[in-house]
A = this chain, B = another copy of it.
Amino acid sequence: MPEASQSPSIITAAMLAIGDELLSGRTKDKNIGHLADLLTLSGIDLKEVRIVADEEDAIVEALNALRLRYDYVFTSGGIGPTHDDITADAVSKAFGVPCIYDPDAMKLLADMYKRREMEFTDARQRMARMPEGARHIPNPVSTAPGFIIGNVHVMAGVPQVFQAMVDNVLPTLRLGAKMLSRALPCPYGEGDIGTLLAEVQKAHPQTSIGSYPKYDGQRFSTEIVVRARDPQILDAAAEAVAEMIAGIDRAKTPTNPTADA
């Protein structure tokens, strides 16, 4: 089991998205946000994301930095059949093991192409390559498996396949104490609330209070997000934030002395 986390209930993760097309802007990544959502729901803290090109040295270096630091690493991209798909080689190199044509993966793919009466080309056989000793991540969409070695989970870049692989990986992970969160919409900009919110944060040190500015083209508003692992601690801080907003409301509303009633 990975041992990088600070406490048994905090599980950390990093993602490494691999592909020239993400860095050229040709493809807009959809996998990072998807994984972030699911890890948050699983109580796993995504601490860092890196995007690197289809270059072996870049992949190896990033992967070795991330896998030693976090409990889990998830990669996307570079496991297809073409010459620029070099993730299996790079991951093998990072772990110092041979990159082999995995016999089980070869059989899965050979059977699938036979059923579909398609040739099992050299290029397609490349999709069976993975570090020796790796376990498969099933791919219900297009058969060619992802793989797991150590704490690294290697998945496809095509979002439909990535998502299917993530669905197969999540049940195998240790879950953390889930980070609970409460979002409070706030009609005021950060400049109006900043000082008060810093006081609320100081008074509730076991929570993490973030404020996220929104701009509608005319004015800023804010979404305030309180996060904590303990529900009571979360409630107390969320209440303090709501009271803070109500206090600004009262201060901004001109007193309306009723004339006679």
A-side residues, CB < 8 A to B, are 20-29, 32-40, 45-54, 58, 62, 80-85, 113, 118, 121-124, 126-127, 141-142, 157-158, 160-161, 179, 181, 183, 190-195, 197-198, 201, 208-215, 217, 220, 225, 227
A198 touches B83 (CB 8 A): yes
Copies of this subunit: 2
A211 touches B29 (CB 8 A): no
Q: Which residues of B contact A47 (CB under 8 A)?
A: 23, 52-53, 58
B121 touches A192 (CB 8 A): yes
A82 touches B198 (CB 8 A): yes
Q: Which residues of B contact A52 (CB under 8 A)?
A: 47-48
A190 touches B82 (CB 8 A): yes
* Cross-chain contact of A210 among B84, B122, B158, B220 (Cβ < 8 A): B84
B24 touches A46 (CB 8 A): yes
* Cross-chain contact of A123 among B46, B191, B201 (Cβ < 8 A): B191
A141 to B214, CA, bound (A): 13
Q: Which residues of B contact A127 (CB under 8 A)?
A: 191
With A47-B53, A48-B58, A215-B142: A181-B24 Cβ-Cβ less than 8 Å: yes
The 7 closest A-B pairs by CB, nearest first: A123-B194, A25-B36, A25-B37, A83-B198, A124-B191, A49-B51, A81-B194
Return 5 A-B CB contacts under 8 Å, by A number: A25-B36, A121-B194, A123-B193, A160-B217, A161-B215
A22 to B210, CA, bound (A): 12
A84 to B54, CA, bound (A): 34
A26 touches B225 (CB 8 A): yes
B49 touches A197 (CB 8 A): no
Closest beta carbon of chain B to A13's beta carbon, Å: 9
Closest beta carbon of chain B to A2's beta carbon, Å: 18
Q: Which residues of B contact A208 (CB under 8 A)?
A: 20
Q: Which residues of B contact A214 (CB under 8 A)?
A: 158
Given A48-B51, A123-B192; 6 other pairs, CB 8 A cutoff: A25-B34, A26-B181, A48-B53, A49-B49, A82-B211, A121-B192
